[in-house]
């Protein structure tokens, strides 16, 4: 019995053009009761979500030194080959490296964030900047100084150097020259043996 009523209802909908009438009612409602939502863009900025990925930036430690160690992992992780890193060794300290030259071609960047996740020392960050329109696309090939300036502007709070965050890194780091050599007698294992 219910199938008969369903068939009769479907036939009446087709005959009366129910879908067309309902869509015209929606259009008429929108036409009569529409309140525009306008953002005055240059003066009012839109609210960005927390997961927004904007312009990339190089970061520094709190003493002003660069975080990038020139390991080239960001260059290897980039799917569109945006990043070019030229690394070099610190003179007199063969175990320390730094990025001698760092360039990003932002015209090819996908803003995927793979370079940020690949960085072992958190030297890269995604900012919330999105207003990068230029007349010449060669202006979007950013060098190391430009990327550091973006990082200084977007991330004013900086963290301490790795040696000062984790004291065991400072003690066991071979290239850390101002630290006295650790004596075996001070080690807890040596103290347990003597007891």
User: 119 a known binding residue?
Assistant: yes
Q: Where are the beta strands (DSSP E) in 12-82?
A: 56-58
Interatomic CA distance for residues 154 and 157, integer angstroms: 9
Residue 78 labeled ligand binder: yes
Q: How far apart are CA 2 and CA 9, in angstroms?
A: 10
d(CA 86, CA 116): 18
Question: Token digits for 95?
Answer: 């175990």
CB atoms under 10 Å from CB of 152, counted, come to 15
CA distances from 163 to 75, 89, 107, 120, 159 (A): 25, 18, 36, 15, 11
Does 112 belong to an annotated binding site?
Answer: yes
- Is 68 a known ligand-binding residue? yes
Q: Which stretches does DSSP call E strand in 53-179?
A: 56-58, 83-90, 93-105, 124-126, 141-142
- Our measurement of the distance from residue 183's CA atom to the centroid of its chain's CA atoms, rounded to an integer in Å, reads 43
Which residue ranges make up the annotated binding site for [4Fe-4S] cluster?
68, 71, 74, 78, 109, 112, 115, 119
Binding region: 68, 71, 74, 78, 109, 112, 115, 119
């Amino acid at each position: 019995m219910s199938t008969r009523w369903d068939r009769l209802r479907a036939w009446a909908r087709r005959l009366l053009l129910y879908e067309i009438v309902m869509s015209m009612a929606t259009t008429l409602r929108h036409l009569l009761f529409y309140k525009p939502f306008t953002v005055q863009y240059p003066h009012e900025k839109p609210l960005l979500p927390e997961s927004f990925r904007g312009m990339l930036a190089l970061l520094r430690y709190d003493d002003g030194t660069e975080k990038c160690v020139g390991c080239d992992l960001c260059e290897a992780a980039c799917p569109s080959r945006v990043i070019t890193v030229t690394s070099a060794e610190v003179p007199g300290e063969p175990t320390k490296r730094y990025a001698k030259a760092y360039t990003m071609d932002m015209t090819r960047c996908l803003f995927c964030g793979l370079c940020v996740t690949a960085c072992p020392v958190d030297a890269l960050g995604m900012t919330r900047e999105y207003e990068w329109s230029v007349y010449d696309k060669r202006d979007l090939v950013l060098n190391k100084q430009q990327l550091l300036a973006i990082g200084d502007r977007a991330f004013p709070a900086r963290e301490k150097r790795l040696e000062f965050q984790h004291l065991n890194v400072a003690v066991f780091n071979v290239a850390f020259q101002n630290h006295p050599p650790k004596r075996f007698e001070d080690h807890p294992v040596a103290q347990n043996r003597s007891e």
